[in-house]
Structure 1
Amino acid sequence: MDDLAPDHVRAFIARTRVAEMKSRGWRVLGPGEEGSILMEGPMLASRTEVLDAPIGGVFDDLIARAMERADARDRMDARRAA
């Protein structure tokens, strides 16, 4: 039971959502932290997307914003130099 199955996820689920998660195929493993239960359930259907774009592509968004800020600074520096 202590071995993690690669096709399952363990998470702390709010007590108010336990029934909903059970209906989705999750099972209770034991008590969790404040107001939650430790549960295990099937991996997300879009597992390859999760692996290809960790955290929903947040890193791509952060990099894009950083590049925009850098480009804006370069433009300001070029205007000052002219």
Structure 2
Amino acid sequence: MNAPTPPAAGLRRCGCRDRNRPANKVAELGNTPGVHICAGCALRAAHRAGILSTLADIRYAGRQLLRSWRHRGGEWR
């Protein structure tokens, strides 16, 4: 079995997909220095963790609050 080749300068290896990506297209995971993840893998992980559904709930609550505020003439009472 061949060992993975180190990434070229300016590239980082996505820890999920094991592909080299431009350094500005990946983020280093905070608790695991040297391990990077691309946006696609980060979105998949967030979805699996339920974070995206929580954000949708927060967005819905914000819309309801704004709608109520507008209904009251745009003034907090």
**Same fold? TM cut 0.5:** no
Bigger RCO (CA 8 Å, 6+ sep)? 1
Of structures 1 and 2, the larger Rg is shown by 1
Q: Which has the higher helix share?
A: 1
Class of the TM-score when normalised by the shorter of the 2 chains: 0.3 to 0.5
Q: TM-score, normalised by structure 1?
A: 0.34
Q: TM-score, structure 2 length as denominator?
A: 0.36
